[in-house]
Amino acid sequence: MNVKGTIKNVLGTICESPWLRPQVRRSALHSVNVVYSHYVGNPGPHYMAFDHGCTASKFSETLKRLNRVFDFAPLNEVVADQSTASARKRPLMAVTFDDGLDLRESGAMEVLDRYGIKATAFVITSCVGNQKMMWRHMLSAIQALVPDRGWLPPYNALALNHGLDPIESGQNLLSASRRWDMRRKDDLAAELWNACQLPPVENYLAEKRPYFGWDGLRAWLNAGHSVGFHTHTHPYCSQLQKADLEGELIEPALALKRRLGLEELSLSYPFGDRLPPGLEHELFETGIFKALFGIRGFRRKGGSNDKLERAGIEGPNLGWTVFAANLLGGIGSA
């Protein structure tokens, strides 16, 4: 861990201490407290590049730590809550998951039940039912299933053909993909998958079934949890243009609401990467979404729901992203 990460960990640990916990609690009464994770359990190749070792036991311990300060509540209740210290003794917190990875057999639902938590699963609509693998998950699987010497030459050939920068040995495939044109990301990932001579991605999806299906989402809802929207194909939204809104955000979100009978729907931005301000305002004005979430910590109450944020609870910086960021009264690093 670098020096900056070490300092954050120390500050987070201090803020979580019994001496400062009451102040953290009072501060959190004035913010909209929403945390996010992705997956709980043993990761498949499609998630190995992102895995922080969030086993069911580690997830349970994380919730136990959070419960020292927060009362858990559904996302819609946390977003709607405008009470402050005079009306509530403990702040509310919502738990969310991104990417629509199926949580029913990973141990996550049992842990949520243990703490009485009703969580929100933000889904990538093109992946529901395992009809498609999200492009970044494809790259993770390629790195996990193919040695560097196996995927590096095909990638550099692909880069040459498409005007992309080549990768040197030891560089990260996922880092390179951040510079891709979002309109070509799925085709580029599929082209690399095939160039690495992996079995058809449909076979992988049929075997692993990483994502919620429609029946699984209904079971999730029937258990009292909720469903949110994580875009149709998981782009960097800052790269989108007005012409992209309908196909990437508006139509898929409306279809999701219709299919599951959802009255309210919130959007979590992939990577926390927001639309350009003008497009974000235009999207929010459609009334499709109750709230729009980034991943920069927590926002103070009283602001517009299109500017809400969340804090991550994966990895080693839990104390910083949740406790220290809240105590210091601003948006934390997530």
Residue type at 82 in one-letter notation: Q
- Tokens, residue 84: 């402050």
Residue type at 72 in one-letter notation: F
Confidence of residue 86 (pLDDT cuts 50, 70, 90): low
- Tokens, residue 243: 């012409």
- Tokens, residue 231: 């875009």
Which helix or strand (DSSP H or E) is residue 226 part of? strand 226-229
pTM exceeds cut of 0.75: yes
Whose CA is closest to 331, among 311, 313, 314?
311
Rounded Cα distance, 84 and 74, in Å:
18
Q: Identify any residues that bridge with 71 across adjacent strands, giving them in sequence order.
A: 92
What backbone torsions phi and psi does residue 72 show, to the nearest 5 degrees? -80, 145
- Give SS3 for 272: helix
Domains and CATH numbers, the chain: 3-124+211-327 (3.20.20.370), 135-205 (no CATH)
Q: Which residues contact 334 (CB under 8 A, 6 or more apart)?
A: 272, 295, 296, 297, 309, 310, 311, 312, 321
Angle (CA) 19-24-30 rounded to 5° is 155
At 334 the pLDDT is 31
At 3 the pLDDT is 79
Rounded Cα distance, 136 and 139, in Å:
5
Read off the pLDDT of residues 215-274 as tens digits, 9 standing for 90 and up.
Answer: 999 999 999 999 999 999 999 999 999 999 999 999 999 999 999 999 999 999 999 999
In order, the DSSP letters of 99-118 are TTB--TTSSHHHHHHHTT--
At 332 the pLDDT is 39
At 324 the pLDDT is 81
Residue 333: pLDDT over 70:
no
Residue 301 is classified by DSSP as T
